[in-house]
Amino acid sequence: MKGPVILGGKDLEVEEMSPPAQERTLPHKWLPKEALPMYSGKKAEMYLFKTAEEKVRNHALSKVKEGLEVMGFLLGEVFTHQGVEYTVVRDVATTDLEATSVSVRFDPEGFEALFASLECARFRYVLVGWYHSHPGHGCFLSSTDISTQKGMFDRPYHTALVVDPVRKEMDAFCLSDGEVLRRKFLVYWDEFQNPYYGESVRPKKIRM
C-alpha cells in the first residue's frame, strides 16, 4: 500500500467532526507519572491510531541495543469539535537516519527519497507533527528539539511525540507562545478490535 501525500498548511481545511468514541480510546501505557494528572477531565488534543503508535514504539525499540535515537513524521488530519481543535494521527513516515545516542536527523539522500514516494501516494494527510526517541534519557524537549519545533512545526496543531524505549515512557509536547507544554493524547483503535491493549471486542450481530 502506498503512503500518504503530505499537504502543506495552506491546503488545510479544518472540518467539524466528533473525536474517536470514548470506549475505543485509552491513555498510553507508557505515560510518565508526572503526566498523569492532566488525564483527568481535560479533553485530548491528539488521538494516535494504534498502528501508528506501534510503528513509533517499534522503531524506537529497534535501536535500543545500539543506543541510537530515531525520528519520523506524524501524519493525519485536523478537526474541531465544540470549538476545540484536535488532531488524529493516522500514520507515520520515516527514512534512513544519521543517529547517535543523543542526536538524530534524516539522511539527506533518504529524505529526498521519502518525499518522492509521498508525492506519488493516493492518501492525503497533513503533517501534524514529528516523533523522536530519547533512549534512557526520559521524555522532554531539548533545546535542539525546541528549535526544530519552532522552525518546522510552528502551528498550534503540531505535536512533538517523544518516546524513551529504555524507561518505557511516551509523552507529547507542543509550543504555546514559545513555552513547552504537555499535550494530552490518547491511543484509539478501530471498532471491533483492540489488539494494542490485548482485549477482544465482541462484533455486533448483523440483523438480516
Confirm whether 128 is domain-assigned. yes
Q: How high is the pLDDT of residue 119?
A: 61
Residue 148 structural domain: 49-189
Number of domains in the chain: 1
Confirm whether 1 is domain-assigned. no
pLDDT digits (tens, 9 = 90+) for 90-135: 988 877 667 666 666 666 666 676 666 566 545 567 889 999 999 9
Confirm whether 185 is domain-assigned. yes
Domain CATH for 128: 3.40.140.10
Mean pLDDT of 187-208: 57
Confirm whether 134 is domain-assigned. yes
Torsion sign (Cα): 101, 105, 108, 113: positive
Confirm whether 197 is domain-assigned. no
Q: How far apart are CA 43 and CA 129, in angstroms?
A: 19
Q: How high is the pLDDT of residue 168?
A: 97
pLDDT digits (tens, 9 = 90+) for 29-59: 999 999 999 998 778 999 999 999 999 999 9
SS3 13: coil
58-76 as b/e: b if 16+ CB within 10 A = ebbbebeeeebbbbbbbbb
Per-residue pLDDT at 143 exceeds 80:
yes
